[in-house]
Homo-oligomer: A and B are copies of this chain.
Amino acid sequence: MAIRYPNGKLWKAKQNVANPVPVEIQYSNRGMTLEDDLNETNLYYRENGIAVIHKKPTPIQIVSVDYPKRSAAVIKEAYFKQASTTDYNGVYKGKYIDFEAKETKNSSFPLKNIHDHQIEHMKAVLEQNGICFLIIRFTKLNQIYFLEAEKLMHFWERQKNGGRKSISHQEIVECGHHIPLGYCPRVDYISIIDKLYF
């Protein structure tokens, strides 16, 4: 098992002098996707009674299913469907929590990573006073930000009105909230929710 420092950096007993890993890759590619990190974070929240938040299953359009005798049904033909909501939701202190998580290799966040349906869903959640946001990881910088859905809407509108098709890193630094990488939990977004909403 890989052992890591609280900041997520891999701990190594010895440097491999014969094949030194380039410093940039060591920092940027921790071998875990944002989804992995969030699944572990959510598991930590659930196991410690902090919050109940799950990733929703990927929506699938099933076309054909076989029912072999005395065996489990086998799906023989199916297709991925576009999600009509965000990927994560759940409950924290009675409040509804809803978010989408995206990582980008770019130096800005491309708005095409979010679908129209998801924007409509987020607006509807905000109208119901749900807590709704985006978690963005800039993989090259290995930085993670929490961006409230209200602020995402501002950049979405700017794009609709002919403005830029992405949110710059600088804008996210200014409008969003940096989530420091931890060990347990890895991506402690609840600490941001505590500051902003409670």
A89 CA to B46 CA, complexed, in Å: 17
Answer whether residue A110 sits at the interface, using C-beta atoms and an 8 A cutoff: no
A94–B129 touching, CB < 8 Å: yes
Q: Take A52-B124, A58-B57, A74-B79 as given contacts and tell me if A96 and B85 are in contact as well, using a CB distance cutoff of 8 Å.
A: no
What are 13 of the A-B contact pairs (CB < 8 Å)? Answer: A4-B65, A6-B62, A49-B124, A52-B130, A74-B78, A75-B75, A76-B77, A90-B96, A91-B96, A91-B98, A91-B125, A95-B95, A96-B96
Answer whether residue A179 sits at the interface, using C-beta atoms and an 8 A cutoff: no
A79: contacting residue among B49, B58, B73, B77, CB under 8 A? B73
A79 CA to B75 CA, complexed, in Å: 6
How many copies of this chain? 2
B73–A8 touching, CB < 8 Å: yes
Within 8 A of B (CB), among A32-60: 46, 49, 51-52, 54, 56-60
Known: A4-B65, A89-B90, A95-B95. 11 other contacts (CB 8 A): A8-B73, A49-B127, A56-B57, A57-B58, A58-B60, A60-B78, A75-B75, A75-B77, A91-B128, A93-B128, A96-B96
Answer whether residue A80 sits at the interface, using C-beta atoms and an 8 A cutoff: yes
A residues whose Cβ falls under 8 Å from a Cβ of B: 1, 4, 6, 8, 46, 49, 51-52, 54, 56-60, 62, 64-65, 67, 72-80, 84-85, 89-98, 121, 124-125, 127-130
Task: Look across to chain B and name the residue whose beta carbon is closest to the beta carbon of A75.
Answer: B78
A128–B75 touching, CB < 8 Å: no
B54–A128 touching, CB < 8 Å: no
List the 7 closest A-B pairs by CB distance, nearest first.
A94-B129, A91-B96, A75-B78, A91-B130, A57-B59, A96-B96, A91-B128
A51: contacting residue among B1, B93, B128, CB under 8 A? B128
